[in-house]
Amino acid sequence: MDSWKIGDRMGAIIKTDRTIQFFGFGEYIGPSSPNRGSGILCLLGIKFCFHVPAIYLDLGGIIFVGEVYIDREEEIEFNLDIARINKTKIINNTIDNFRNKKYENTI
């Protein structure tokens, strides 16, 4: 993460043994103040007003480090290629759908 520069191409996924949720690719926008999000970093950032590294997805939306696994685009593509070879199910998802489903009962 220390070597990421604003404008770097990034991607976002969540990996489990059986699936990969793919949220897309985008640009690293640097540390930002979350006003919503999931994950402990976002929740602490909201409560204590500190910045969390984030990417702006090509399809819209900001996703923060700590919500999902974020890395350089080529690393995410490599993970997706390995998943295809291993016949791991890849689910295309949006960060809004993920947040709503995961936290639908949270106030």
- The token pair at 44 is 């602490």
Domain of residue 97 covers 9-102
The structural domain count of the chain equals 1
Dist CA 11 CA 100 (whole Å): 20
Residue at 2 is within a domain = no
For the stretch 58-101, pLDDT in tens is: 999 888 888 889 999 999 999 999 999 999 999 998 888 887 77
The verdict on residue 107 lying in a domain is no
pLDDT in tens, 4-40: 899 999 999 988 878 999 999 999 998 876 665 555 5
Does the pTM surpass 0.75? The reply is yes
Residues in the chain: 107
